[in-house]
Amino acid sequence: MVRAQEQPPDWRVVDARPSAAVAEVLERLLAPRVAEAARLDASFGRQVAQWLAATTRGGGRRLRSAFVWWGLRVACPAPPPGTVAAALTVGAAVELLQSCALVQDDVMDNSPVRRGQPALHVLLGSTRPVAAGPGALGFGQSAAVLAGDLAMVWAEDTFADAHPPPEVAAPVRRLWSVLRTEMIAGQYLDLAGQADASHSATHALRTAVLKSGRYSVARPLELGALLAAAPPEVCRVLRAAGGAAGLAFQLRDDLLAVWGDPARTGKPTGEDIREGKPTLLAALGFSRAAARPRGAALAVLRRCYGNPAAGPAELAAVREVLEETGARRDVEAHIARLVGRASAHVEALPEAPEARARLLALVRLAAGTVAPADAPPAPAPAHPRPARGGSGPGHAAPQAPGPVRPAGPQRPDPEDRTRPHARAAAPHGRRPLRPAAPTPPGTHPNPSPAEEPS
């Protein structure tokens, strides 16, 4: 809860640097939680809670909390102090949820690096020598899973401190529950796709939507709109914009995982290839390669994609196939279409032209079509190095569940089918929504996974 002596900043101040405003909320809320963890046990506080607080406060670009803020602002030109405080606290909760996702994703993928630093399970594993006894090999992974659980607990506690206006509290709480469940379902689909060696475009798009697209962009935008008590048609437009932008965000991340610069992404490239990630990029590559009369390209993908032992030569061969078959080109084209659709929805909103412009810039930043303009990247957090200690019980990394059979073709995001209506009603004296911009020539107005190039 925001105490009386901790007055929320004016919305104009937050507009200048939303990430800094959320950082202040995180600093205030996490300090007592770290202290509480240290009182329970010094090593738990130092090795888990302190690391979790540091990485949440200092890492990443805080895109998700920014989408909460600009979802609020495009729906409410001048939010009152109580709504400002609620939006910043909800943004902090979303950032803690992201910390949970990153920690547990690194465990499931056995990723050694995150944001240019050793991943938490690597750091924790280094505190227990192999000779420490049974379970020592799994200590880092097992303890990191607990750290992810702690991040989820802190996220829930922080959300409970938001205290949105009473008239919107119930729908905001429902959407927060939906957001968390969708994130977990998406991670499950990611694991299932790897276990099944799935190369289905439908499965890949569904995974992208649920694993990242909704909880990173669409739901934060919608949370901001709900906090502003936006009318239903504005919420629908923002939901549609967020659906398109969120899918573009994940598709860009898939490209960076194969061709990105580790110095910029903070993690090695090629891991998605070794792990056999069920991405649209891979699905298109396999489909195109299979359609060729000579099977050389398909043989490369079958031999190297999903091969944990793939070396630099094998990774380069996969990249060459994905380029040569046009898979990379078509994913880039789909990102451009999605950004165009999201931008058209945002431009149709009737209020706050300055906030609309900032939201448009954020959409393009998330999709990787523009560089950040308002602030330099946040510095990598100074992760506290866990001290060595005694052994503890551990277990193997989570096993992938059984096969998933999606129920029929799905659109990239079912909610993105909503289009702003040119003659929408304008309750409460608001101007009606402007019609969305026409679809650019040569693009399909509303592609489904089955309509993707293949």
**Backbone φ/ψ region at 128: left (φ over 0), alpha (ψ -120 to 50), beta:** beta
Q: What percent of the chain has pLDDT over 90?
A: 64
408-428 mean pLDDT: 33
Does residue 423 surpass a pLDDT of 90?
no
Residues whose CB falls within 8 Å of the CB of residue 210, separated by 6 or more in sequence, listed in order:
182, 183, 185, 186, 189
Q: What is the pLDDT of residue 199?
A: 94
Residues written for the chain: 454
Per-residue pLDDT, averaged over 265-269, amounts to 82
Give pLDDT, residue 415.
34
| Average pLDDT estimate for 207-216 | 93
- pLDDT at position 133 is 55
CA-wise closest residue to 412 among 453, 446, 441? 446
- Going by C-alpha positions, the residue among 229, 241, 153, 184 that lies closest to residue 420 is 241
pLDDT in tens, 20-35: 999 999 999 999 999 9
Residue 357: count other Cβ atoms within 10 Å of its Cβ.
14
For residue 440, is pLDDT > 80?
no
**Residue 451 in this model has a pLDDT that exceeds 70:** no
Q: Does residue 444 or residue 306 have the better pLDDT?
A: 306
pLDDT score recorded for residue 135: 54
What are the tens digits of pLDDT across the range 4-18?
346 778 999 999 999
Conformational region of residue 378, where left means phi above 0, alpha means psi within -120 to 50, and beta covers everything else: beta
Confidence label for 361 from pLDDT (cuts 50, 70 and 90)? very high
Lowest mean pLDDT: which of 290-294, 300-304, 315-319, 342-346?
290-294
| C-beta neighbour count of 404 within 10 angstroms | 19
What letter does residue 291 receive in the DSSP assignment? T
Question: Is residue 268 over pLDDT 80?
Answer: yes
Q: What is the pLDDT of residue 130?
A: 59
pLDDT digit string, tens, across residues 102-129: 999 888 887 877 776 788 888 887 777 6
**The pLDDT of residue 398:** 29
Torsion of Cα atoms, 175 then 178 then 183 then 184, to 10°: 150
CA 335 to chain centre: 16
Q: How many helices and strands (H and E) does the chain possess? A: 19, 2
What is the pLDDT confidence band of residue 400, given thresholds at 50, 70 and 90?
very low
User: Quick check: 237 pLDDT over 50?
Assistant: yes
Residues facing residue 114 across a β-bridge? 117
Q: For 177-203, write each residue's pLDDT tens digit.
A: 999 999 999 999 999 999 999 999 999
If DSSP codes are grouped into helix, strand and coil, which group holds residue 368?
coil
**pLDDT tens string 302-336:** 999 999 999 999 999 999 999 999 999 999 999 99
Which residues have CB under 8 Å from 89's CB, separation 6+? Answer: 2, 25, 29, 158, 159, 161, 162, 163
CA-based Rg of the chain, rounded to a whole angstrom? 22
Q: What is the DSSP letter of 326?
A: T
**Structural contact between residues 8 and 88, judged by C-beta atoms closer than 8 angstroms:** yes
Distance CA 195, CA 254 (A): 18
As a whole number, the mean pLDDT across the chain is: 81
**Residue 213: predicted pLDDT:** 92
**β-pair type (117-118, 113-114):** antiparallel
- Flag whether pLDDT at 214 surpasses 70: yes
Q: How confident is the model at residue 424 (pLDDT cuts 50, 70, 90)?
A: very low
Mean pLDDT (whole number) for 79-98: 96
Mean of pLDDT values over 260-271: 86
Q: Specify the pLDDT at position 444.
A: 35
Residues above pLDDT 70, as percent of the chain: 78
Name the least confident of 15-19, 85-89, 368-372. Answer: 368-372
